[in-house]
Chain A
Amino acid sequence: MKERYKKYTVDIPEDMKIPYACIVESPKVNGEQPQMLTGGWRIYRPVVDHDKCVLCKSCILACPDATVLLVDGGQKIGFNLDYCKGCGLCTWVCPVNAIDRVPELDFEDGVPFQDALFLLPHVERLYAD
């Protein structure tokens, strides 16, 4: 019986397999989703003047992507630059004007470099010589 119906099914190659019913685990580390890096969208980077900062945490509440973090044992404001899109909301809400927006190209580092967006192994060959 099984053999008889085999001709109707499809053998899916190993490198094309997808998660069962497209069910994937939720991100667990700091809410990060490594397949959806958004740091590359950033044109202006938020830079905190720690002398001015009063740690009111308005920026933490304002950030739509939860990329503003408390670092140094809760003593400083920091950013998760892998995901910060540079929208500038933190700058807008800061009551003491402690967050500047600096062109991203003025920095050497800080953006995760991706070879391509959404590239699957079996599609990679289309880009090859």
Chain B
Amino acid sequence: MAKTIEVTVWATGVVQDKEGRDVCLVLTEAANQEGKFTQAFDNYVDLPDRINVQVRKYARISDAEIENKFEYENHRPNIIGVTEATIMKGINVCKGLQEGGFLVINTTKDPEALLKYVPEKERKKLKAVATIDAIGIAPEQLIDYSGAEGAEDVSAIGAGLGSVMAGAIAAVSGIVKKESILAAAANRTAAKRGYDEVKIKVLK
């Protein structure tokens, strides 16, 4: 079976419903352009209709058709994105992380400042942790439900902070090329700044 890269993005319920999904959609659209097999999907196990509840959005990127397409969750993610840093204080966002994984957080703080919220077991598996001030770059957090419930998004994909996060994730992990991210994101400048301005701390 071909290797599938799994991305889990943690966001706040309702408020970042679109932005969290956009991170995944921009990444998968970029990977589509590179000819990969992809899947971006929402988590409903988290009961995401509650404002500010911790919710997960997922992406899978693979060289071959994705065989575990219907699994509800990424149990063994390779990359974790966090669009609201406070989430990390209450939950182990890196649960199940694979060896050599990456953690990318939206915050103004330095990467070291947030590592303390990652338990020892998962911290040992991290290859790098990175932070990006996504809200500083793209302050828009659009609350739009048109793309929820399995319908097509009416609003542009990656007009807000989703592009910044997707750019940062691409820069840290190298899963997709910079050009692909820029082509996939509605807000090119935001994606470019995310890619260029991400602060990376390599752990091993």
Q: Are B90 and A114 in contact (CB under 8 A)?
A: yes
State the CA gap A113–B12 with chains docked (Å).
16
B91 at the binding interface (Cβ < 8 Å): yes
Among A39, A42, A114, A117, chain B packs the most CB atoms within 10 A around the CB of A117
The residues in A between 38 and 73 inclusive whose CB is less than 8 angstroms from any CB of B are 38-43
Q: Chain A contacts of B32 at CB under 8 A? A: none
B90-112 interface with A by 8 A CB criterion: 90-92, 95-96, 107, 109
On chain A, the residues within 8 Å of B12 by CB distance are 41, 43
Chain-A contact segment, one of B22-30, B45-53, B164-172, B185-193: B45-53
Q: For the complex formed, measure the closest distance between the CB of A125 and the CB atoms of chain B, giving whole angstroms.
A: 9
Count B-side interface residues using an 8 Å CB cutoff.
Answer: 25
| Alpha-carbon distance A111/B85, docked complex (angstroms) | 13
Name the CB-closest residue of A to B117.
A113
**Interface size class for chain A?**
20 to 34
Asked whether, in the complex, the Cβ of A85 is within 8 Å of the Cβ of B52, the reply is: yes
Majority secondary structure, B binding face: loop
A116 to B8 CA separation, bound complex (whole angstroms): 14
| Main SS class of interface, A | loop
Q: Cα distance A86–B87 when bound, in Å?
A: 12
Contacts of A5 in B (CB 8 A): none
Is B89 among interface residues, defined by CB-CB distance under 8 A? yes
B86 touches A42 (CB 8 A): yes
- Are A40 and B109 CB-contacts (below 8 A) given A104-B86, A127-B76? no
- List A84-129 residues whose CB lies under 8 Å from chain B: 85-87, 103-105, 111-118, 126-128
* Residues of chain B having any CB pair with chain A under 8 Å: 12-13, 45-46, 50-54, 75-76, 84-87, 89-92, 95-96, 107, 109, 117, 119
